[in-house]
Amino acid sequence: MKTLRRRLSDRYCSMLRHYVAKSQESVLARANGLGRAAMAGGLGLLDMARIHQAAMSLLLHESGVTTARGTIMRASECFLMEALSPFEMTYRGFREANLQLQRLIEDVKKKNISLRLEVNKRQQTEKILRNRELRMHELLVEAKWMEENLRRYSDQILHTQEAERLRISRELHDDIGQALTAASVALQGLSDTARPGRAALLADALELLQDAMVKVHDFASDLRPSVLDELGLLPALRSYLDRTAKRTGLHVWFRAARAAELLPADEKITLFRVAQECLTNVAKHAHARSVRVTISRTGNSVRMVVADDGRSFRNQDADGAAPKPRLGLLGMRERVRLVNGSFEIRAQPERGTQVKVTIPLRHAERTRGVRKQIQAMCIPDIGSVR
């Protein structure tokens, strides 16, 4: 560093002496280069001031200088300003860069504050969303639990209903039926020994009693046909459809596949109750002439279709009155859902209504041994009840 300062001091003194003597612009350009060399060597403003002071002292005391003192001062000042111009430009660039840096720092601070506020806002939002998600999960679990309870309660209600139907049907058939039969036998005996005037009254009473016996028998069969438990689904359906056709005048066309007997007891009861409800709706509301009931096997499931040619549900609701809730349809859907089946209803204006129920075959391997017994039954695949 000292060697560099000494060398620069000698060059500075020589250039200053030359400029004072001749005032050439080329010398000022060399002074600018001298300032850049000093900056490159690590010298500062204080070092340049010392070099200038030493050169001025030497220049003023030299015996060969005849120039006036004022001229020397003005020329040296100009020379010094040119030598210091690289420092000035550098410091000015530093100041501008520093100002830009300060402004950038302020912008970064502002953006940092804004970003922190945004992060806090998002954290609060995420916390709210997490709480809502937890609440939704709790509600979903609770809803599933309630749905499972409702399904279990519905299952219990339907099983209780079927048990009560069976009990009432047996009581009607056993107790009331036997009482009516005994009364009929007694009246028959009295009519055989009665006088002609009373014999006619007894005959009328006996006819009324026989009609009551038929109605009680039909009512008991509708509640829970004994043939459903004794012979199976298809004979029970055929018997019910036959009674319905005779009672309502409908032309009932029945087709059944033997695979329906492979279904467990609950599924058989479901198909029978759905068919029963469909025929009741057709007789009451559809104004139909004929009904087609088909049971077929599709893959590993059994499908029952009940179709009529009467009015559809839409036409029944289009009379200007508010549609009434169809509890029968809700009951059918619930029954089918409880045995993991699918329920579909299709209503076409002026073309009738079609109800389709599909129930999967469960425990098929266990029921393979029953197939020979089913094939031995006298159940036709295709037949017209009436």
Total domains present in the chain: 2
pLDDT at 372: 44
- Would you say residue 259 lies in a domain? yes
φ, ψ of residue 350 to 5 degrees: the values are 60, 10
Sign of the dihedral through C-alpha 268, 274, 278, 280: positive
pLDDT digits (tens, 9 = 90+) for 16-25: 888 777 777 7
Sign of the dihedral through C-alpha 258, 262, 264, 267: negative
Q: Average of pLDDT values for 188-195?
A: 68
| DSSP one-letter code for 67 | S
Q: 278 CB contacts (<8 Å, ≥6 apart)? A: 291, 306, 332, 355
Helix (H, G, I), strand (E, B) or coil at 344: strand
pLDDT at 374: 42
- Would you say residue 165 lies in a domain? no
pLDDT digits (tens, 9 = 90+) for 358-375: 999 875 444 444 444 444
- Would you say residue 37 lies in a domain? yes
- Would you say residue 105 lies in a domain? yes
Same domain, 238 and 97: no
Q: Average of pLDDT values for 75-86?
A: 83
Q: Average of pLDDT values for 207-225?
A: 73
Question: Closest by alpha carbon to 271, among 344, 336, 345, 337?
Answer: 336
Q: Average of pLDDT values for 257-266?
A: 88
Same domain, 240 and 98: no
Q: Is the pLDDT of residue 5 over 90?
A: no
Q: Is 37 in contact with 8 (CB distance < 8 Å)?
A: yes
Question: Closest by alpha carbon to 52, among 1, 2, 11?
Answer: 11
Q: Is 228 in contact with 236 (CB distance < 8 Å)?
A: yes
* Structural tokens at position 334: 């619930």
Rounded to a whole number of angstroms, the CA Rg of the chain reads: 56
Q: Is 352 in contact with 286 (CB distance < 8 Å)?
A: yes
pLDDT at 77: 83
The CATH number of the domain where 265 resides is what?
A: 3.30.565.10
pLDDT digits (tens, 9 = 90+) for 94-122: 888 888 899 999 999 999 999 999 999 99
Same domain, 238 and 95: no
Q: Is the pLDDT of residue 302 over 90?
A: yes
Among 93, 109, 125, give the residue marking a domain's end: 109
- Would you say residue 376 lies in a domain? yes
- Would you say residue 101 lies in a domain? yes
| DSSP one-letter code for 23 | -
pLDDT at 18: 81
pLDDT digits (tens, 9 = 90+) for 117-148: 999 999 999 999 999 999 999 999 999 888 88
pLDDT at 342: 92
More confident residue, 173 or 384: 173
- Would you say residue 142 lies in a domain? no
Same domain, 237 and 105: no
CA distance 316 to 326: 12
pLDDT at 253: 92
Percent pLDDT > 90 in the chain is: 19
Among 84, 109, 134, give the residue marking a domain's end: 109
Question: Closest by alpha carbon to 276, among 326, 235, 229, 240?
Answer: 240
* Extended strands (E) in the chain: 251-256, 290-298, 301-308, 342-348, 352-360, 382-384
| Angstrom distances, CA of residue 86 to CA of 81, 109, 307 | 10, 34, 104
Average pLDDT over the chain, rounded to whole? Answer: 79
Among 80, 109, 138, give the residue marking a domain's end: 109
**Containing domain of residue 69, as a range?**
2-109
- Would you say residue 194 lies in a domain? no
